[in-house]
Amino acid sequence: MSNIITANDLKTRGVSAIDMVVEESEEAVVTVRGKNTYVVIPIEKYNYYRECELEAAINETRKELEQGKYVAETVDEHIKRIIDA
């Protein structure tokens, strides 16, 4: 079975259309007017992806800190710098 669900299928069959596809392929692609527009995944997979995204952000921040790419300033100094930019 394909992992594609048309917007019309979604409209007429609702969540059951998603359940059927996700059960077999773990993700459903929703097409609108023939174009792949959305991806529906189980919440567990979404949470995993979010954790990966957050971990990547933490690693990037650590790298920038090690490279000295940061500004140490007070809140007032920070606001002034942003306003003056």
Query: For residue range 24-56, what is the model confidence (pLDDT) as tens digits?
Result: 888 999 999 999 999 999 999 999 999 999 999
Q: Per-residue pLDDT tens for 7-22?
A: 999 999 999 999 989 8
The per-residue pLDDT for 24 is 87
* pTM above threshold 0.75: no
21 and 51 share one domain: no
Same domain, 60 and 74: yes
CA 36 to chain centre: 16
Helix spans in 14-74 (H) = 15-25, 43-66
Q: Let me know whether 56 and 69 are in one domain.
A: yes
Where residue 6 falls among pLDDT bands split at 50, 70, 90? very high
Q: Domain check: are 62 and 33 in the same one? A: no
Residues 6 or more apart from 65 whose CB is under 8 A from it? none
What does the pLDDT read at residue 1?
A: 52
Whether 10 and 21 map to the same domain: the answer is: yes
Which domain range does residue 32 map to?
A: 4-41
Res 2: pLDDT? 84
Is 48 found in the same domain as 26?
no
pLDDT at 23: 85
Residues 57, 79: one domain?
Answer: yes
My answer on whether 26 and 56 are in the same domain is no
Q: Are residues 28 and 8 in the same domain?
A: yes
Q: What integer pLDDT is reported at residue 69 of this predicted model? A: 96
